[in-house]
């Protein structure tokens, strides 16, 4: 394909909400883990790392047509798994041809972070990797095991801390409702403890939504998994928020999947947000109607 014909996108394209205005550079296909029971995003792709020629062609296309975008996001699900030498080449090539890009972001997971040494993470930061998005989902080991996350809370904390130590901003996502009804509050408290220990720059709390064809959806249909109702989700959010202590950072539950959008600058907004959740539990705050919720 000639470089002027467009970017080489394949399959389903997703990126974090905060990367909506970024240049989207697809350097991998799919997700290197791809076993989480709640996720159906990359089932249409076998994980592969794209070849240098395709990546270069896309960077050259962006260099001609994307001068107004100052951030770039490396897709797909886990660009950090790319071997260090190639990842450094990608970041160097971005700097060479897109000098106006001020920040590069990527998804990572505990495994891919662990595969990088402290020096390698610091090198990636030096080369422009400014933010890493880490799907935590839960701080409860039993829940992590049930959803096939492939890691423990202790490992997630350690790897998250290493990202921050390297000077890379850390944005983590957690899932309200992922532990089902019976383990809801245990999941909430354990997740709060993980977030407090990890101390990320950004926390995004999403609400679990069932995707047809996923193992979690099958568990729900078979009666092995119970979805929380709105008030139970609010109680879970309250428990999680109440026990989360960040030195400074944003705690957000403003994703399209959430019933009650919140955005809290921690720690100063703590009491205000707890009052808002309590007001919502008393029925004094309008919640997002079901038809407005989305992935």
The Cα angle at residue 41 between residues 14 and 154, in degrees rounded to 5 = 95
Is residue 40 very low, low, confident or very high in pLDDT (cuts 50, 70, 90)?
Answer: low
Cα–Cα dist 206/259, whole Å: 10
Residue 295: what pLDDT? 57
- Whether 188 maps to a domain, the answer reads yes
Q: Residue 248: give its domain's CATH number.
A: 3.20.20.70
Directed axis angle between helix 52-65 and helix 84-97, to 10°? 20
Lowest mean pLDDT among 14-18, 167-171, 264-268, 274-278: 14-18
Q: For residue 114, give the 3-state DSSP assignment.
A: helix
- Residue 130: give the domain boundaries: 3-282
- Whether 213 maps to a domain, the answer reads yes
Residue 45: what pLDDT? 65
- Whether 131 maps to a domain, the answer reads yes
- Whether 151 maps to a domain, the answer reads yes
- Whether 294 maps to a domain, the answer reads no
- Whether 289 maps to a domain, the answer reads no
Cα–Cα dist 170/156, whole Å: 12
Q: What are phi and psi of 194, to 5 degrees?
A: -60, -45
Q: 94-117 pLDDT, tens per residue?
A: 999 999 999 999 999 999 999 999
Write the Ramachandran bin of 90: left for phi over 0, alpha for psi from -120 to 50, otherwise beta.
alpha
CA 133 from chain centre, in angstroms, equals: 5
Whether the predicted pLDDT of 4 surpasses 80 = no
- Whether 291 maps to a domain, the answer reads no
Q: Per the structure, how many domains does the chain have?
A: 1
100 burial via Cβ count (<10 Å: 0-12, 13-18, 19+): exposed
- Whether 101 maps to a domain, the answer reads yes
Lowest mean pLDDT among 38-42, 196-200, 203-207: 38-42
Contact 106, 124 (CB under 8 A): no
Whether the predicted pLDDT of 228 surpasses 60 = yes
Residue 34: what pLDDT? 66
Whether the predicted pLDDT of 289 surpasses 70 = yes
Residue 266: what pLDDT? 93
Percent of the chain with pLDDT over 90: 74
Average pLDDT (34-60) is 81
């Amino acid at each position: 394909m000639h470089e002027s014909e467009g970017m080489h996108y394949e399959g389903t394209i997703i990126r974090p909400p905060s990367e909506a205005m970024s240049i989207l550079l697809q350097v991998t296909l799919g997700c290197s883990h791809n076993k989480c029971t709640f996720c159906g995003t990359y089932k249409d792709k076998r994980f592969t790392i794209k070849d240098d020629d395709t990546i270069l062609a896309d960077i050259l296309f962006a260099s001609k047509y994307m001068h107004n975008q100052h951030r770039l996001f490396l897709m797909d699900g886990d660009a950090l798994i790319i071997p260090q030498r190639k990842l450094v080449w990608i970041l160097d090539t971005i700097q060479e041809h897109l000098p106006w890009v001020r920040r590069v972001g990527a998804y990572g997971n505990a495994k891919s972070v662990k595969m990088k040494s402290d020096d390698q993470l610091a090198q990636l930061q030096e080369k422009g990797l400014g933010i890493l998005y880490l799907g935590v989902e839960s701080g409860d080991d039993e829940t992590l095991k049930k959803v096939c996350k492939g890691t423990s809370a202790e490992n997630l904390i350690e790897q998250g801390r290493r990202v921050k130590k390297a000077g890379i901003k850390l944005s983590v996502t957690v899932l309200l409702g992922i532990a089902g009804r019976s383990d809801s509050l245990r999941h909430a408290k354990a997740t709060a403890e993980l977030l407090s220990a990890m101390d990320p720059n950004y926390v995004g709390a999403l609400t679990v939504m069932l995707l047809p064809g996923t193992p979690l959806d099958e568990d729900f249909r078979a009666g092995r998994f119970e979805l929380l109702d709105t008030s139970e989700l609010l109680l879970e959010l309250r428990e999680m928020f109440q026990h989360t202590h960040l030195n400074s950072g944003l705690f957000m539950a403003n994703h399209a999947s959430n019933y009650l959008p919140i955005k809290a600058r921690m720690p100063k907004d703590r009491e205000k947000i707890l009052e808002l959740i309590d007001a919502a539990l008393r029925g004094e705050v309008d919640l997002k109607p079901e038809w407005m919720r989305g992935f």
